[in-house]
Structure 1
């Protein structure tokens, strides 16, 4: 049988990539909970195996890790609700601080750009009217988003339970796709995928813990209000590669401005965040995750942006582990090795033959 021309093969590959992204986009509300459940179930596997080794019944060995995860999330929700209650109780002071900062900003704009306070007020009123006009649509969409949120997280424990319960069935299904002589390669790929996913997700969990303690603790020592809240928010947003840290900085600055009348507090927060980020990126996180997820920065950023466009926050969060799994598949498939090269973090030397 005559082999297909290389241009046709590459065209089919690109068409398959477009089709995959389209399917993820169209079916994101169904696919993303399943994918997130899959990654979480991989992370819970060691706990499940721990209970099984101690002769605990299979059903209980599945339910107990899910309950531990639910307990962790409940503590997180309790912390956020208690911190928000504190913010609400300080609303009058926050309003006063924000008003003072806005007045200073208005005077600076007037002196620097010759844009009078009257013109600024007119501009703000016009923008406020535009926001109010679209508020009805935003609230309507928020109700739909809230119901989707409840459905999303309501299905997660069910999916996780079923994935752990039927894991052997899924493995059998995967092996039946391949010839017997390829089963050893498939087994190696599955083991490596499991190791990478566990390493990555457990690393992120540890990262949330130490960043909250380190960032929140330092800000608390330096007398910054809402220090722990800033630490937790930044640690969680930092899970979204490259983009999350930017939003974490912005929220940290806004919380500091609303709780303090001194701009020096803002610079303190930014400096402490920069120091903690430097330690995290160059010392702590590489030692925790190691070199398990070796994806180049360009592929990672593109993956996060596409993941966010396709499936929102969950897509951004799952982008890196999904890319890592795809890389394992590409590296072990002769016809797809060039895609693995594209995702790798190994820069060829100048003049090196890539073929």
Structure 2
């Protein structure tokens, strides 16, 4: 190998590394746009069955079916948002009507009853607040900055919402738009293989996200019934939050349970702990666990087994691995990413025995 060849090889390697670094920097700078595209892709995948139904059964033209689907999507998110407005208004009224002395007495009595019932040392909430130096968070000088941050954040949300809806419209209108955009990265001889894989991924993920929507709806109804039975304030909104949290595997249901139990306590603050609060908490917890069992043994196997055609053990291991690698975000995206990896492996590595075994149902 002469010196010119060696120098060319070094320069080529350096150029490749620099190009990769520039690409990563570029992707980092446009991460908000990538997030918009990801949300729009999810909306388009969830909306595909409805667009197909409107075109096939009701004879809508393509554009009208897409617009109708987006209006339904906007209405759904707006309805969810409006569920939380009464909570904010009610909490604002309650804060204005709070009798500080009575609230302090109720909290102190609840604290004393819990300590007596479980025979533990009473926890002084006042001392705890002093130790955490809670007042440092209430800096009046920071109020203007907080208002400015809120306004700028609100503007960013509006821009993001418009961007997602705009991108979703064209992804739904032209079902091959995303495929054709990504096709430029495929070799000429691999284009057919790429299109087969991408079409399969779209079909599986579309069914998966529709299944998740059905799962959240079922949990929302069951949680609402449970919380209404036991008189928890704002039961519908709380049930919706708990159902959405359930989308985070394993961790989400725990957060939901803690939220439900805390709000059940605050809904009955001032009542006797041993005769009212504790039995009600026990019944709510039992009901919550029964709903989780229904979800774990009926809803999830049906969604994962039918939509993404994967064994529950595969899903469990994929979620565990992605969670360890990427945290809570990894838990959320584990199933879609694992599904995409399986389809790509089937198209590209089908000669390997392990790939054949894992993808035999695809």
User: Which TM bucket (shorter chain)?
Assistant: 0.7 to 0.9
Distance 1:130 1:278 in 2: 43
Q: 1:257 maps to which residue?
A: 265
- In 2, are the aligned partners of 1:307 and 1:318 still within 8 Å (CA)? no
Q: 1:300 maps to which residue?
A: 319
Alpha-carbon distance, 1:221 to partner: 2.5
- In 2, are the aligned partners of 1:239 and 1:317 still within 8 Å (CA)? yes
Classify 1:21/1:132 alpha carbon distance in 2 versus 1 (closer, same or farther; 3 Å).
farther
Alpha-carbon distance, 1:102 to partner: 4.7
The one of 245, 252, 269 aligned to 1:244: 252
Q: Structure 2 length as normaliser, TM-score?
A: 0.72
The one of 184, 194, 197 aligned to 1:189: 197
Gaps of 5+ in 1: 1-16, 347-355
Q: 1:9 maps to which residue?
A: none
The one of 158, 166, 190 aligned to 1:150: 158
The one of 48, 52, 73 aligned to 1:49: 52
Q: 1:199 maps to which residue?
A: 207
**C-alpha distance after superposition, 1:193-243 (max 9, x if no partner):** 122211211111111211111121123224444332321110111112222
**C-alpha distance after superposition, 1:143-186 (max 9, x if no partner):** 55444333222211011012223433433344555456645543
The one of 80, 90, 102 aligned to 1:76: 80
Distance 2:254 2:64 in 1: 42
Distance 1:149 1:298 in 2: 35
Q: State which drifts further: 138-147 or 210-219.
A: 138-147
**Helix, strand or coil at the partner of 1:56:** coil
Classify 1:72/1:337 alpha carbon distance in 2 versus 1 (closer, same or farther; 3 Å).
farther
Q: Structure 1 length as normaliser, TM-score?
A: 0.73
Gaps of 5+ in 2: 1-19, 270-276
**Helix, strand or coil at the partner of 2:138:** helix
Distance 1:18 1:134 in 2: 43
Distance 1:34 1:56 in 2: 26
Classify 1:36/1:134 alpha carbon distance in 2 versus 1 (closer, same or farther; 3 Å).
farther
The one of 125, 138, 159 aligned to 1:132: 138
Q: How many residues align?
A: 322
**C-alpha distance after superposition, 1:304-353 (max 9, x if no partner):** 576667xx7xx764453234223322343239989979xx799xxxxxxx
1:274 aligns with 2:295: no
The one of 96, 105, 116 aligned to 2:111: 105
Q: State which drifts further: 260-269 or 291-300.
A: 291-300
1:324 aligns with 2:339: yes
Distance 2:170 2:292 in 1: 38
Distance 1:149 1:74 in 2: 14
Provide the alpha-carbon RMSD of the alignment: 4.1
Distance 2:25 2:108 in 1: 44
Distance 2:291 2:21 in 1: 39
Classify 1:90/1:121 alpha carbon distance in 2 versus 1 (closer, same or farther; 3 Å).
closer
Distance 1:98 1:289 in 2: 48
- In 2, are the aligned partners of 1:303 and 1:319 still within 8 Å (CA)? yes
Distance 2:324 2:290 in 1: 26
Q: State which drifts further: 254-263 or 48-57.
A: 48-57
**C-alpha distance after superposition, 1:117-148 (max 9, x if no partner):** 4xx52441342123325993993655554443
Distance 2:46 2:289 in 1: 30
1:30 aligns with 2:33: yes
Q: 1:14 maps to which residue?
A: none
Distance 2:24 2:305 in 1: 29
- In 2, are the aligned partners of 1:48 and 1:62 still within 8 Å (CA)? yes
